[in-house]
Amino acid sequence: MNETQLRERLAEHGRLLFGRGYSVGSAGNISVRLPDGYLMTPTNSCLGRLDPDRISKLDPQWRHVSGDKPSKEVFMHRAVLETRPEAGAVVHLHSTHATAIACLASPGEAAPIPPLTPYFVMRVGRVLPVVRYYRPGDAAMEPAIAEAARQARAMLLANHGPVVSGKTLDDAVYAAEELEEAAKLALLLQGREARRLTPAEVEDLLTTFG
């Protein structure tokens, strides 16, 4: 996809995510890697009403070059995209169920959501680190995000929400959606005996689907 198509796709994904309540108000931000820099949703923008022409553009050194002022979470996106060269996009949401798990006092360091369904394992993976609380936009979070990104495609920020990367924008959005659904299932099943995928079944998914 060229830049114009990616801008339109980003606005379309934003509209769909917002429409289903995966972000509310002006919460959430999305970045996409380009051959000559990055696209990023503008700060204080509503994901449901993004104007493709006003999406922020940053150069390869993450300097703002055009469009509206970028998200204050530029450090978060930079940490993931620089740590994971294969990642083409990052989606940060405040989706309710993933955020609820991120608010638990003891969410579980590396696996706060159990492997209940194949698509969670295939899209998000085996490990989901929880990064300690930082104020939104705090540049001090960058090393902690980079450390989590070294271990996994996605992470939860304590008391804040999920950060998910993917090879492409579509992949990152689909993984963020799977993460939210898996979090919802985990909460729905709390207190009931659920069958988790076995380590061998998880291994089989990861080797079959990469």
Give the residues lining the site for ligand 13P (CB under 6 A). 26-29, 41, 43-44, 71-73, 92, 94, 136
Distances (CA, A) of 187 to 24, 157, 160, 182: 21, 18, 17, 9
The question of whether 73 is a catalytic residue gets the answer yes
Q: Which of these is catalytic: 73, 142, 177, 180?
A: 73
DSSP 127: -
The residue (of 29 and 165) whose beta carbon lies closer to ligand 13P is 29
Residue with smallest beta-carbon separation from ligand 13P: 71
The residue (of 133 and 209) whose beta carbon lies closer to ligand 13P is 133
> Angle of helix 74-83 relative to helix 142-151, nearest 10 degrees?
40
Q: Are 155 and 132 in contact (CB under 8 A)?
A: no
The first and second tokens of residue 191, run together, are: 């207190």
How many whole angstroms separate alpha carbon 42 and alpha carbon 157? 21
Smallest distance, ligand 13P to C-beta of residue 136, A:
4
Q: Which of these is catalytic: 3, 8, 12, 119?
A: 119
Smallest distance, ligand 13P to C-beta of residue 40, A:
8
E strand map for the chain: 29-34, 37-40, 56-58, 64-66, 89-92, 130-131, 154-157, 161-166
The question of whether 119 is a catalytic residue gets the answer yes
The residue (of 71 and 165) whose beta carbon lies closer to ligand 13P is 71
The residue (of 144 and 189) whose beta carbon lies closer to ligand 13P is 144
Catalytic residue numbers?
A: 73, 119
